[in-house]
């Protein structure tokens, strides 16, 4: 690349964080690592910080401050701990912040990066789903570019005529359909967390893997797309495409449809984000259309996968609904992973919580946090009644 980039990675020990570091470590002349953060994995964070030569490593859990300091003693790498320290790291002067924390827990750090005026590579879709309007308003005020890392939104970003958006008729998100694409609801009833995290095409963190199995991931992505590309809800669509070769499409008014294709490897959209507006080499498999032979498409099934309708309704209603949807889903997914509720209960609980109440639209981040907290409490209450 023409100039070295100063990069911070929030959630450096996760699936997206590690894929980002893989690319960075292969191209040491192109990046200076400012800050790396993680939630609890001291060992993984220390290893990543040493390998990449980070200036500072930050662990979210304050009780692990000492362990992190010990692990990096004598390296010259500074350490810090706690949620505020993660926000401070996100606000440090850099050219790009890779936001790869999972869940609404990432909201404060994404906002800190935006407030600092730094370009954000956004993997953390839940932060945008919950706090989308406020986040975009802050980005507009500070002139901050948000580069989508999520493969579908990255594909749309690449095909989207940003100078002439009036020419665009719709965007079409592709969905692999997840591991249970062909399963009946009866078959899905008893699936275990171990089975549900096994995605046919992508290797990802546990939470997004479960979201991919319920198709809530596509629901969250629908809301993410609505915010990022500012199209009316009816012009944001979903098509199931089991091979995950086409990562999404943009339809123009004249009937032209542009798509971005590639191997299903997150390092491709991550590399786009890291090098933007340039391009960089990756070790990723090249697409061989001859070998693939054919691509399949089908409409998503709303009966077997109610998550999409729940998300679409939340997107259309706007206000507090997307944050409620997200918070209830995070709680339900965690409970499913812990063996507390069944697979089909996840979307049932989200639906129950959404039906329960309708708070006012958030006007501040504090409002978002309050909505998030109340929805989590409502989900917990609902789950108690399921498991009682």
Residues at the interface with ligand NAD (CB under 6 A): 11-17, 38-39, 41, 60, 86, 100-102, 105, 123-126, 150, 202, 204-205, 207-208, 266
Least distance (Å) from ligand NAD to the CB of residue 388? 28
User: With respect to Mg ion, which residue has the nearer C-beta, 57 or 123?
Assistant: 123
Residue 112 contact partner, candidates ligand NAD, Mg ion, none, CB within 5 to 8 A by sort of partner: none
CB of 123 to ligand NAD, least distance (A): 3
Say whether residue 331 binds Mg ion (CB under 5 A): no
Cα atoms in the Cβ-side hemisphere of radius 13 Å centred on 19: 26
Which of Mg ion, ligand NAD, none interacts with 300 (beta carbon under 5 to 8 A by kind)?
none
* Shortest spacing between CB 166 and ligand NAD, in angstroms: 29
The footprint of Mg ion on this chain (CB under 5 A) covers a number of residues equal to 3
SS3 79: strand
126 binds Mg ion (CB under 5 A): no
Which of the listed partners (ligand NAD, Mg ion, none) does 266 bind, with a CB threshold of 5 to 8 Å by partner kind? ligand NAD
- Reduced to 3 states, what is the DSSP secondary structure of residue 40? coil
- Of the pair 110, 139, the CB lying nearest ligand NAD is at 110
Question: Whose structure tokens read 């989308």?
Answer: 132
Q: Which helix (H) or strand (E) holds 12?
A: none
Closer to ligand NAD by Cβ: residue 11 or 91: 11
Nearest CB to ligand NAD, comparing residues 41 and 51: 41
Q: How far is the CB of 105 from ligand NAD (least distance, A)?
A: 3
Q: Which is nearer to ligand NAD, 45 or 352 (CB)?
A: 45
Asked whether the beta carbons of 104 and 80 are under 8 A apart, the reply is no
User: To the nearest whole angstrom, how small is the minimum distance from the Cβ of residue 160 to ligand NAD?
Assistant: 18
Least spacing, CB of residue 202 vs Mg ion, in Å: 8
C-beta separation of 195 from 179 below 8 A: yes
Decide if residue 330 touches Mg ion (CB under 5 A). Answer: no
Indicate which of ligand NAD, Mg ion, none lies near residue 125 (CB less than 5 to 8 Å, by partner kind). Answer: ligand NAD
User: Which residues lie closer than 8 Å to 192 by C-beta, 6 or more apart?
Assistant: none
Two tokens at 2?
């023409």
The tokens describing 25, both together, are 């470590």
Please check whether residue 126 is in contact with residue 106, taking contact to mean a CB–CB distance below 8 angstroms: yes
- Mutual orientation of helices 307-317 and 321-337 as an angle, nearest 10°? 150
- Per CB under 5 A, 150 contacts Mg ion: yes
For residue 183, give Cα distances in angstroms to 25, 188, 217, 301, 306.
Answer: 41, 6, 18, 11, 14
Residues 6+ apart with CB under 8 A from 132: 223, 224, 226, 227, 322
Phi-psi region of 332 (alpha: psi -120 to 50; beta: other; left: phi over 0): alpha
Instruction: Give the nearer residue to Mg ion in terms of CB position, either 109 or 151.
Output: 151
Binding window for Mg ion (CB under 5 A); candidates: 75-83, 149-157, 271-279, 364-372:
149-157
Nearer to ligand NAD, 89 or 383 (CB): 89
Q: Which is nearer to Mg ion, 150 or 372 (CB)?
A: 150
Q: Determine the straight-line distance between the first and last CA of the chain, rounded to whole angstroms.
A: 58
Q: What is the DSSP letter of 1?
A: -
Tokens of 52: 């990449």
Which residue in the shown chain puts its C-beta closest to ligand NAD? 14
- 211 counts as binding Mg ion under rule CB under 5 A: no
The least CB distance from residue 258 to Mg ion, in Å, is 18
Q: How far is CA 75 from CA 43, 52, 55, 59, in A?
A: 14, 12, 10, 17
Output the smallest distance, CB 348 to Mg ion, in A: 24
Alpha-carbon 51 to chain mean position: 25
**For residues 20 and 52, which CB has a smaller minimum distance to Mg ion in the complex?**
20
Q: Which residues bind Mg ion (CB under 5 A)?
A: 150-152
């Amino acid at each position: 690349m023409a100039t070295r980039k100063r990069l911070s990675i929030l959630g450096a020990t996760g699936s997206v964080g590690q894929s980002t570091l893989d690319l960075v470590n292969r191209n040491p002349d192109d990046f200076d690592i400012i800050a790396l953060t993680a939630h609890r994995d001291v060992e993984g964070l220390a290893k990543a910080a040493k390998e990449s030569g980070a200036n500072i490593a930050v662990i979210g859990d304050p009780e692990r401050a000492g362990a992190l300091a010990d692990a990096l003693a004598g390296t010259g790498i500074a350490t810090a701990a706690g949620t505020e320290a993660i926000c401070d790291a996100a606000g440090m002067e850099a050219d790009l912040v890779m936001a790869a924390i999972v869940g609404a827990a990432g909201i404060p750090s994404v906002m800190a990066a935006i407030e600092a005026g730094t370009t954000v590579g956004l993997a953390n879709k839940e932060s945008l789903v919950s706090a989308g309007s406020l986040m975009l308003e802050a980005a507009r005020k500070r002139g901050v570019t948000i580069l989508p890392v999520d493969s579908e939104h990255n594909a749309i970003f690449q095909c989207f005529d940003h100078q002439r958006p009036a020419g665009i008729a719709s965007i079409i998100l592709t969905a692999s359909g997840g591991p249970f694409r062909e399963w009946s609801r009866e078959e899905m009833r008893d699936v275990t967390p171990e089975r549900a995290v096994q995605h046919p095409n992508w290797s990802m963190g546990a939470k997004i893997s479960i979201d991919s199995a319920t198709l809530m991931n596509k629901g969250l992505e629908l809301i993410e797309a609505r915010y990022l590309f500012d199209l009316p809800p009816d012009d944001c669509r979903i098509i199931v495409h089991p091979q995950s070769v086409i990562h999404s499409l943009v339809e123009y008014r004249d009937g032209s449809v542009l798509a971005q294709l590639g191997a299903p490897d997150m390092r491709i959209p991550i590399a786009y984000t890291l090098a933007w507006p340039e391009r960089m080499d990756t070790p990723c498999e090249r697409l061989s259309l001859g070998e693939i032979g054919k691509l399949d498409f089908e409409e998503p099934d709303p009966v077997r996968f109610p998550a999409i309708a729940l998300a679409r309704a939340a997107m259309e209603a706007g206000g507090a609904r997307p944050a409620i949807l997200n918070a209830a889903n995070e709680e339900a997914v965690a409970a499913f992973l812990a063996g507390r509720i069944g697979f089909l209960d996840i979307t049932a609980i989200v639906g129950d919580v959404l039906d329960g109440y309708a708070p006012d639209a958030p006007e501040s981040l504090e409002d978002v946090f309050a909505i998030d907290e109340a929805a989590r409490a409502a989900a917990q209450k609902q789950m108690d009644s399921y498991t009682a």
